[in-house]
Amino acid sequence: MRKARLATVWLDGCSGCHMSLLDLDEVILEVAKRVEVVYGPLVDAQEFPKSVDVTLVEGAVSSQDDLDLIHTIRKRSKIVVALGDCAVSGNVPAMRNPHPARKLLERIYIEGAEGNRCVPTDGVPALLRQAVPVQEVVKVDLHVPGCPPPPRAIGYVLMELIEGRIPDLGTKVKFG
Ligand code: SF4
């Protein structure tokens, strides 16, 4: 049986959704039999690959790099899942939205710094004006709220998608 090609992506999030994914307990053995993880923080892949079956996206779209990556993900993934409140609604990263990004950076790196007061730019992706949920940029096939979503719900979602079914999340997840 062909294994499903699974990618997991960490945009502007805290990694808590990935921690929840790793907390699947024994379900992870079933998932591991059915998927090949082709991209994400858990594997050493430099470039988002082609022909991905399912991509789990943690975090909001917050920087130019996030924006470029999410467009590539959409083009190369059959199913895109917004995993967690940051990806679904903006959540914590979107708390910066009422303030201009430049002012925030100055507050942190200049006013709040004790030494070396300058806003880093070398190798740092430019912030977008606002941090936005994934669905504001590309089509999302499934939203899985939660901060983070419970491991059991993530396991259920993965197994249903692998079997070719659309998960009925019903009361399995909630925001927060
Ligand atoms: S939804 Fe919660 S756990 Fe997931 S990345 Fe955002 S803040 Fe972290």
Ordered by start, the domain boundaries in the chain are 4-95+130-162
Centre of ligand 1 to C-alpha 115, Å, is: 31
In this predicted structure, what is the pLDDT of residue 116?
Answer: 86
Residues 147, 131: Cα–Cα separation, whole Å: 17
Which tens digits make up the pLDDT trace of 95-148? 999 999 999 999 999 999 988 899 988 888 999 999 999 999 999 999 999 999
What's the whole-model pTM score? Answer: 0.94
Rounded average pLDDT over 84-88: 98
CATH 3.40.50.700 for the 4-95+130-162 domain, yes or no: yes
Ligand 1 pocket check: which of 11, 21, 56, 58 to mutate, most ligand atoms within 8 Å of Cβ?
Answer: 58
Question: Could you tell me the two tokens for 143?
Answer: 């939203």
Pocket of ligand 1 (CB under 6 A): 13-14, 16-17, 58-59, 84-86, 91-92, 147-148
Which tens digits make up the pLDDT trace of 139-169? 999 999 999 999 999 999 999 999 999 999 8
Residues 39, 49: Cα–Cα separation, whole Å: 7
Burial 63-83 (b: 16+ CB within 10 A, else e): beebbebbebbbebbebbbbb
Residue 135, H or E segment: none
The answer, yes or no, to whether residue 16 has pLDDT greater than 90, is yes
